Structure 1
Amino acid sequence: MTVTALCHGEGCRGAGADGRPRRRTVRDGRLCRTCRDHLSAGLGELAHLYEECGRVLGGTTPGSLRERTTGGELPGLPFNGAAADVRARMVSVLGSWGGLVAQERGLPAPPRTVADLTAFLQRNADWIAAHPAAAEASEEIARLVRSGRRAAFPEPARTFRLGDCPEPGCPGALALSVRDADRSAGRAVVCDSDPAHRWTSDRWSELSDSMEAGRAPAAAPATERWLTAGDIAQLWHTPTGTVYRLASEERWRRRNRAGRTYYSESDVRACFDRRAAARA
């Protein structure tokens, strides 16, 4: 008899909060087919990321040039601590899961190298997907992949202007710096003229209202700002899936530029103001 339940894998963990339905598991497993495939693919990517992190341990990043020297490394060359930490965690986490599989299945433990551990775990991916700890395995592997990507392929921060600083007499402009791979909560909207003029990004709707209210009545209408779904998710602390759903339901104005979609900031702000009022 085939029994299915709601999946608790990494890909389904946030479902519901952002409007997506949770997928169901396959057969008697604990993961849906998609999360099981992501688990296996993540294991395969970790072997590659481990090698890539090794290449940046001495401070070299993709696309950078470093002068070759004779006689070994010179003192004081930069050391990429993030890459070293990720590599150590890969060995530790993969070693723990490899030990669990080997012990419970009565198999010889694989050598404690990332290449051997990931290959061993991939061969046993179906068994892991049916294990009571499948959700934890899915989450830990996905977290390792994200950390490995950030360490191996660091992105420069992207800064976008939000408008004039609303503080009286301040000539500065507000900006928010984000990294696409690390949109952590709590980033600040900061004035480029006076760093003391700063607001946490979750106050953007309130701040934007004060900016509009502070404009002189005779002033020309403000130029419309256009934000990506990621920008909106960051500023309003909302899952990206919810942003796309609201954009469709509320018919936000949009523009396409260089293959990316941008949404009208005034439409977005009005939508989130209504939602905040409804909650209140």
Structure 2
Amino acid sequence: MTVTALCHGEGCRGGRGDGRTRRRTLQGSRLCRACRDHFAAGLGELAHLYEECGRMLGGGAPGSLRERTTGGELPGLPFNTAAADVRSRMVSVLGSWSGLVAQQRGVTSPPRTVAALTAFLLRNADWLAAHSAAAEATEEIARLVRAGRRAAFPDPARAVRIGVCPEPGCPGGLALAVREAARADGPAIVCDAAAEHRWTSDRWSELSHCMESADPAGTAPAATATERWLTAADIARLWHAPTGTVYRLASEERWRRRNRAGRTYYSETDVRACFSRRAARG
């Protein structure tokens, strides 16, 4: 397609202060291809984040506080107010944009559920990308995604144990330092025995093969000797993929999964094989 003006997307407009150049739009759109794809990915992720936040409503977040009342705790009360607030905002914001599309396009509004609203907006993503409010739409969806991630995965400082250190003679274990993994160039994978054994998360596929070679007899702790289990957020950080893509692949590829304390964990072997096939296809 022919390119025209400067992109109005949240990604381009938000990058002006750090020296990044705003990209040019696709013909007939107010967004560049990257911002348009990011907008669609955000919409796709919101439906999954809504469900993840729903699992937090019982106050299961680490360190969450439950209000005490003289009559005891009320059955079914959503103690995790952050998760409840984000879910409410998702319905409100997505409903508002869906109402705009339905009114101006003369189509029927979708049911007021996050799954239906996001599916409707995805079908109309190109129309919204060309609308005069495209900038506001991308900004609001990006804010919702960030808020949803914070509410659904509220412990950014945690470390996820992922196996034995592959360095020869090192007795340590590796962990994904989630706070560092959020930074593009952070030393996200660290050894608990040697501070100098640190890797960025984009080397995970290489490291995971080395870890198998480093522990051929299965001497690692039981939780990591035979299979590693990762959350969708962990997979997204390790393989630099949108969380929405992780959920989609988990369903399409039928990754093995386990549920623990209301959270879903996926087989690292299945995940790695899937992303290896995708990389081989280019």
Q: TM-score, with normalisation over the residues of structure 2?
A: 0.52
The answer for unaligned runs of 5 or more in structure 1 is: 65-72, 159-178, 184-227, 232-254, 262-280
Deviation (angstroms), 1:260: 3.8
Between the aligned partners of 1:87 and 1:134, the Cα distance in structure 2 is: 23
| 2:138 matched residue in structure 1 | 138
Per-residue Cα deviation, 1:147-176 (whole angstroms, up to 9, x for no partner): 000000012448xxxxxxxxxxxxxxxxxx
Deviation (angstroms), 1:259: 1.4
1:12 aligns with 2:32: no
Between the aligned partners of 1:49 and 1:29, the Cα distance in structure 2 is: 28
What is the correspondence of 1:244-259 to structure 2 with a 5 Å cutoff?
A: 257-259=197-199
| 2:40 matched residue in structure 1 | 40
Between the aligned partners of 1:134 and 1:100, the Cα distance in structure 2 is: 12
Between the aligned partners of 2:126 and 2:59, the Cα distance in structure 1 is: 38
RMSD: 3.3
Identity %: 73
Between the aligned partners of 1:256 and 1:181, the Cα distance in structure 2 is: 17
Look at both structures and tell me which one has the larger radius of gyration over its CA atoms: 1
What is the correspondence of 1:76-155 to structure 2 with a 5 Å cutoff?
A: 79-155=79-155
**Alpha-carbon contact 1:5-1:24 (below 8 Å) kept:** yes
- 1:156 to 1:32, Cα distance in 2 relative to 1, 3 A: closer
Between the aligned partners of 1:59 and 1:5, the Cα distance in structure 2 is: 47
Per-residue Cα deviation, 1:91-131 (whole angstroms, up to 9, x for no partner): 00000000000000000010011000000000000000000
- 1:144 to 1:181, Cα distance in 2 relative to 1, 3 A: farther
What is the correspondence of 1:228-239 to structure 2 with a 5 Å cutoff?
A: none
Per-residue Cα deviation, 1:14-39 (whole angstroms, up to 9, x for no partner): 22321211101101210111110111
The answer for unaligned runs of 5 or more in structure 2 is: 65-71, 159-178, 188-194, 202-282
Per-residue Cα deviation, 1:212-256 (whole angstroms, up to 9, x for no partner): xxxxxxxxxxxxxxxx9779xxxxxxxxxxxxxxxxxxxxxxx97
**Alpha-carbon contact 2:3-2:24 (below 8 Å) kept:** no
Deviation (angstroms), 1:74: 5.5
Secondary structure of 2:82's counterpart equals helix
Per-residue Cα deviation, 1:175-224 (whole angstroms, up to 9, x for no partner): xxxx66999xxxxxxxxxxxxxxxxxxxxxxxxxxxxxxxxxxxxxxxxx
Deviation (angstroms), 1:49: 0.3
Between the aligned partners of 1:81 and 1:119, the Cα distance in structure 2 is: 26
Paired AA for residue 83 in structure 1: A
What is the correspondence of 1:124-203 to structure 2 with a 5 Å cutoff?
A: 124-157=124-157
Paired AA for residue 39 in structure 1: F
Between the aligned partners of 1:132 and 1:101, the Cα distance in structure 2 is: 12
- 1:117 to 1:181, Cα distance in 2 relative to 1, 3 A: farther
Equivalent residues, number: 166
| 1:52 matched residue in structure 2 | 52
Q: TM-score, with normalisation over the residues of structure 1?
A: 0.52
- 1:91 to 1:122, Cα distance in 2 relative to 1, 3 A: same
